[in-house]
Structure 1
Amino acid sequence: MTNNYFDIKRELLDTALKRTEDRISMIASALETARDSSTDDTKSSAGDKYETSREMIQQDINRYQKQLLEANKDLQQLLHIEAALNSDTDVARVGTLVQTNVGLYFIATSIGAVKIGDSNIFIISPLAPIGQLLIGKKIGDSFVFNNIDQKVSAIY
């Protein structure tokens, strides 16, 4: 692998880490706000309204806790990728940059398209449909995604 692709992978991983850390921060803040709302909510004369409000706040808290758990899992996966960034491989796996005739994919976590230089690179999860199709592929392997034939031309 040329040093250029190592630098691109490093930049992609840094971008994914930053976005994931930002997401964790936003979720934690929303969770704290919901918890504050729950403790600040005082029982009013409209008992049913109070119970409905408390239940809605609890549902928000549960949703934020689940999102926080998932975001922390993503962060841990990204931290594991860092150790394998500069290892060479001829098989698409987590931490690899895969070039197809359609585009460039970095298998890490679901972030979406990132522009590096003149290239749009998709940071995708290995669990996403395209990620599942890419994992295990070698140069020359083909697959179909969204009715589009793709062929792996390089793995970095």
Structure 2
Amino acid sequence: MTVKEQLLAVCQNYASKRIASYRDEIETIKESIENNDKSNDEDDDSGNGKLFNDLEKNAQHLTEALKTLDTLKLINPKTNHTSVVLGSIVKTNASNFFISTSIGAIELEGTTYFGISLLSPIGQLLKNKVVGDSIEFNGNKHTIVAIK
């Protein structure tokens, strides 16, 4: 398995775990709402208000996680790139990036890669850059030395 395939698998696993977690949380909240409805003979549903808010938040997070997984499915790990696009591994003089989803640091074979989204601030700076180009982010200069 190539480095890019391994990085993609880590990102897909991360997104899949988030999806499962949000789905579990949604089911738990739905059960709580049903139990509150059954045990509440009065017209007082103040307890359900917070549960409905939590349900809505988790549904939004689930939608975002599903979109993340869909975005990751667009990455072909066998493709090498000449400019920074979705699916690129970008090596700079300071850090290594995998343009995929905002996942943070990924340790792989003794090397640290940062999973970042093209929509993130640094992703926007790196977008469409080529080897030899430089960006400045948080006071640090990054010069691109390789793109895969």
Tell me the residue number matched to 2:20. Answer: 25
Aligned to 2:2: 7
Separation of aligned partners in 1, 2:74 and 2:35: 40
Note the residue ranges of structure 1 that are not aligned, 5 or more in a row.
1-5
Q: Does 1:58 align with 2:55?
A: no
In the alignment, the residues of structure 2 paired with residue 65 and residue 18 of structure 1 have an alpha-carbon distance, to the nearest angstrom, of 20
- Paired position in structure 2 for 1:16: 11
Determine the C-alpha separation between the residues in 2 that align with 1:108 and 1:100.
17
Between the aligned residues of both structures, percent identity stands at: 31
SS at match of 2:130: coil
SS across alignment from 2:46: helix
1:38 maps to 2:36: no
How many angstroms apart in 2 are the aligned matches of 1:76 and 1:85?
15
Q: For the aligned residues, what is the CA RMSD?
A: 1.3
Gaps of 5+ in 2: none
Among residues 51, 65, 74, which one is paired with 1:71 in the alignment?
65
Instruction: Supply the distance in 1 between the matched residues of 2:46 and 2:138 (Cα, whole angstroms).
Output: 43
Residues 106-117 of structure 1 correspond to what in structure 2 (within 5 A)?
A: 106-117=98-109
Partner of 2:45: helix, strand, or coil?
Answer: helix
SS across alignment from 2:131: coil
1:100 aligns with 2:92: yes
The reply on whether 1:136 has 2:131 as its aligned counterpart is no
TM-score by length of 2: 0.94
How many residues get paired?
Answer: 146
Q: Which runs of 4+ in 1 moved over 4 A?
A: none
SS of residue paired to 1:144: strand
> Aligned residue for 1:3?
none
How much has 1:80 moved relative to structure 2? 1.2
Aligned counterparts of 1:88 and 1:64: Cα–Cα separation in 2: 36
Give the aligned residue type for 2:101: T
User: 1:98, CA displacement in angstroms?
Assistant: 0.1
Give the secondary structure class of the aligned counterpart of 1:92: coil
